[in-house]
Amino acid sequence: MNMLEIENLHVVVQGQEILKGLSLVIRTGEVHAIMGPNGSGKSTLSYTLAGREGYEITEGRILYRGENLALQTPEERAARGMFLAFQYPVEIPGVTTMNFLKTALNAQRRARGAKELDAMSVLKSVREAAGALNVSEEMLRRALNVGFSGGEKKRLEILQMALFKPVLAILDETDSGLDIDALKLVADGVNALRTPDRGILVITHYQRLLDYIVPDRVHVLDKGRIVAEGGKELAHELEAKGYAGLARDAA
Amino acid sequence: MAAIQETREHVASLGERYKYGFITDIEMERAPRGLNEDVVRLISAKKGEPEWMLEWRLGAFRRWREMREPNWARVHYPKIDYDKAYYYAAPKSSAKFANLDEVDPKLLETYEKLGIPLHEQKLLAGVAVDAVFDSVSVATTFKAKLAESGVIFCPISEAIRDHGDLVRKYMGTVVPVTDNFFATLNSAVFSDGSFVYVPKGVRCPMELSTYFRINASETGQFERTLIIADEGAYVSYLEGCTAPKRDENQLHAAVVELVALDRAEIKYSTVQNWYPGDEEGRGGIYNFVTKRGDCRGRASKISWTQVETGSAITWKYPSCILRGDDSVGEFYSIAITNHFQQADTGTKMHHLGRNTRSRIISKGISAGRAQNTYRGLVSVHPRATGARNHTQCDSLLIGKECGAHTVPYIESRNPSAQIEHEATTSKIADDQLFYCLSRGIGQEEAVALIVNGFCREVLQQLPMEFAVEAQKLVGISLEGSVG
């Protein structure tokens, strides 16, 4: 079954067309990687999928679990199992990380008609996820992302993913700013969610992360269009030739 | 986005944004409309006051007639016609109750609806409540238990009769009769309020709380509260306020006086939720309040915490006179204005004694077309060697049509004083909001979460029992502010 179907997607941001006819299908159980140079439209794709205001679909469509994504608010998408790990996680002063996680988890549950969890149950789930990712209790007591290092912010994104157990996880340059140990932790976290009922979309600039999260398909994005597609070996080819080299071959 | 619009309409259709807006249908007894000496005499007679109290009131009234309404605050409202209002309103049945069973059930029901049950067995553990309905106190709980430790907690009308010497010794010594237009008006016509006396060395065994309710239409509420903490005593006091939704504007002009003697500490918290008016700016309470604490003794401490979410207009500057050496004054404030609300609020810290310290943390949140002003004074007198102050004023704007203003005055006449002032103004960033949405948190809840985070330092100062309620209130008062 197709989890995500993107057909001829055109997206305009601040009057400028960034995505120019992108098509992509992710079937349930698959891991896809999108690679591309800076400015190719990678982040635009992730924000469009998550429903950020100002990312206007002018042509084409996105079906998520068979339904038109454009008709759903960002919070509805989250409640229906979509999760975006941000490239630049946002700071919210005065809101403890723990409180944020509890609020988000219960908002999603409420939207799905499930019972809200009490503080103790949330704490238990968070601790389970936190242990594997080396996220300390002290971090959970601090205000969300305030004063966190780059690596801490990224680990917290993956902790949220582990906690919310999304159906489709989109990782936007989660590897940027991570050292090799943190990268392995993050990859383990993602691989743990790799089950036949989920889909994962990894957006990255470098091939390095794909050594640890091995994709089923690789797509190369350039100037708002997919310019090359293939198996996991495409990532290595790209690493050897560079984006410019690949673009020449494609032409 | 259509779906967001729909969600919001749904939230709006849940109706009652201001859930305390109901009216209690109860037979009232009122003084005639308008204000003159006869009305002052009537109020005094209704309360069964001694002669000295009546003279005090009449003196205030004569003075008030000579005074002019202040106009320096950044608030705009049509001229108030003081001759049109009622100055005294009381439920007819409320003469004086020996116990709660005699209270009109409608009144008890009103407080139940407000979440303030007056039957002691149902009360929040460890909180004693005085309930003031329009011009009279209808019930005070846990009086007997408090009396065991020597604490007096009763309606001020009762204190004037039963503890006249204490009242006479302290009333008007912090806020003089002639202090300002609204305080002088209050001195003439004040109806009820709370009186607290905590004797030497006693730590008041429970939180004290007064719940003020305006019900009658076209009626002003003028309560007066006096709290005295004797040497080494401690008391924590909280007031809450609500009023029905009415299209008219109603005047509320209260006076609160606090006196802390040597090493005494008073913690005074307010959750002010008077009716703020509707989305178009119709109706709402005009809240002109004078609150002042006197750290009269050495090493005494007075701490004000306020959460101001209601009222069409708020004009209020809870202040500390740091008279005793080593005394400490604190002011923690959250002022939220939405729609057409206007708030001009802040504090004054008068450093008179040596090594006096003060701390001011003000969080102003403005949404809709509201205007929110912090106005504060830190003044260090020549004798106040070693005085220190730290002020932090943060403003948060939601939307494009609201305003935030900061007007700090600093006067230092002692070269050893250390005064710090920090101020920030920020907006709820789109990326913060989107981050919350992408985690499944809806618009309204996201705004409440972010604003509560912004206010956290102040919310932490509230007594535990009320902090949760205050957090919810912060969310409710900003509903409809985004989009």
pLDDT the model gives residue A40: 93
Q: Give the separation between CA A131 and CA B475, rounded to whole angstroms.
A: 33
Task: Look at residues B12, B481, B477, B8 and name the one whose alpha carbon lies nearest to residue B277.
Answer: B477
List pLDDT tens digits, range B367-420. 889 999 999 999 999 999 999 999 999 999 988 889 999 999 999 999 999 999
What tokens does B99 get?
A: 């116990």
Q: Is B450 helix (H, G, I), strand (E, B) or coil?
A: helix
Rank A99-113, B78-92, B458-472 by mean pLDDT and report only the highest.
A99-113
ipTM value: 0.96
Mean predicted confidence (pLDDT) in B256-276? 92
For A:141-160, CB contacts with B below 8 A are 143, 160
Q: Give the separation between CA A131 and CA A129, rounded to whole angstroms.
A: 6
Q: To which residue do tokens 């982040």 refer? A: A43
pLDDT the model gives residue B12: 39
What tokens does B302 get?
A: 């007075």
Chain A hits for B430, Cβ within 8 Å: 53
- Interface with B, mutate which of A49, A95, A116 (most B CBs under 10 A): A95
Question: What string of DSSP letters covers B313-329?
Answer: EEEE--EEEE-STT-EE
Task: Look at residues B480, B410, B391 and name the one whose alpha carbon lies nearest to residue B442.
Answer: B480
Contact (CB, 8 A) for B174 and B259: yes
List pLDDT tens digits, range B301-357. 999 999 988 888 899 999 999 999 999 999 999 999 988 989 999 999 999 999 999
Name beta bridge partners: A144.
A92
pLDDT the model gives residue A245: 77
Amino acid, res. B330:
E
Chain B residue nearest residue A99, CA to CA:
B449
Contact (CB, 8 A) for A210 and A237: no
Q: Give the separation between CA B448 and CA B334, rounded to whole angstroms.
A: 13
Name beta bridge partners: A211.
none
- Using a 10 angstrom Cβ sphere, with 0-12 exposed, 13-18 middle and 19 or more buried, the burial of residue B15 is exposed
Crossing angle for the helix pair A150-164 and A119-133, to the nearest 10 degrees: 130
What tokens does A36 get?
A: 């591309």
Inter-chain contact A73–B445, Cβ cutoff 8 Å? no
Contact partners, residue B5, CB within 8 Å, separation at least 6: none
Task: Look at residues B458, B398, B407, B402 and name the one whose alpha carbon lies nearest to residue B433.
Answer: B398
Task: Look at residues B223, B111, B215 and name the one whose alpha carbon lies nearest to residue B156.
Answer: B223
* Fold adopted by A2-250: Rossmann fold (3.40.50)
DSSP character at residue B163: S
Which band of pLDDT confidence, cut at 50, 70 and 90, is reported for residue B121? Answer: very low
Contact (CB, 8 A) for B483 and B446: no
Contact partners, residue B24, CB within 8 Å, separation at least 6: B106, B107, B109, B110, B215
Contact (CB, 8 A) for B444 and B463: no
A53 and B CB contact within 8 Å: yes
Mean predicted confidence (pLDDT) in A195-212? 93
pLDDT the model gives residue B8: 40
Distance from CA of A50 to the nearest CA of B (A): 6
Contact partners, residue B293, CB within 8 Å, separation at least 6: B174, B257, B258, B259, B260, B266, B268, B302, B304, B318, B319, B320, B321, B329
pLDDT the model gives residue B375: 95
Q: Is residue A249 scored above 80 in pLDDT?
A: no
Contact (CB, 8 A) for A22 and A48: no
Instruction: Note the residue count of chain B.
Output: 483
Q: Which long-range contacts (CB under 8 A, 24 or more apart) does A35-40 make?
A: A35/A204, A35/A205, A35/A207, A35/A218, A35/A219, A35/A220, A35/A221, A35/A235, A35/A238, A36/A205, A36/A220, A36/A221, A36/A222, A36/A243, A37/A205, A37/A222, A37/A243, A38/A205, A40/A221, A40/A222, A40/A223, A40/A224
Q: Give the separation between CA B111 and CA B119, rounded to whole angstroms.
A: 10
List pLDDT tens digits, range A138-196. 999 999 999 999 889 999 999 999 999 999 999 999 988 888 888 998 899 899 999 99
pLDDT the model gives residue B122: 46
Contact (CB, 8 A) for B151 and B157: no
SS3 track for B368-427: CCCEEEEEEEEEECCCCCCCEEEEEEEEEECCCCCEEEEEEEEEECCCCCEEEEEEEEEE
pLDDT the model gives residue A197: 94
Q: Is residue B145 scored above 50 in pLDDT?
A: yes
Within 13 Å of residue A104, how many CA atoms lie on the same side as its CB? 32
Which of A13-22, A232-241, B114-123 has the lowest average pLDDT? B114-123
Percent share of chain A, pLDDT over 70? 98
CA distance between the termini of chain B: 10
- Interface with A, mutate which of B361, B434, B438, B458 (most A CBs under 10 A): B438
Q: To which residue do tokens 């302290």 refer? A: B170
CA distance between the termini of chain A: 33
Q: Is residue A250 scored above 70 in pLDDT?
A: no
DSSP character at residue B221: B
- If you average pLDDT over every residue of chain A, what do you get? 93
Specify the pTM: 0.83
Nearest-by-Cβ selection for B440 from A79, A90, A92: A79
Nearest-by-Cβ selection for A95 from B7, B442, B449: B449
- Tell me which of B141 and B174 has the higher pLDDT: B174
- If you average pLDDT over every residue of chain B, what do you get? 85
For chain A, what is the radius of gyration of the CA atoms? 18
Distance from CA of B274 to the nearest CA of A (A): 27
Where along chain A do its domains lie? 2-250
List pLDDT tens digits, range A181-190. 889 988 998 9
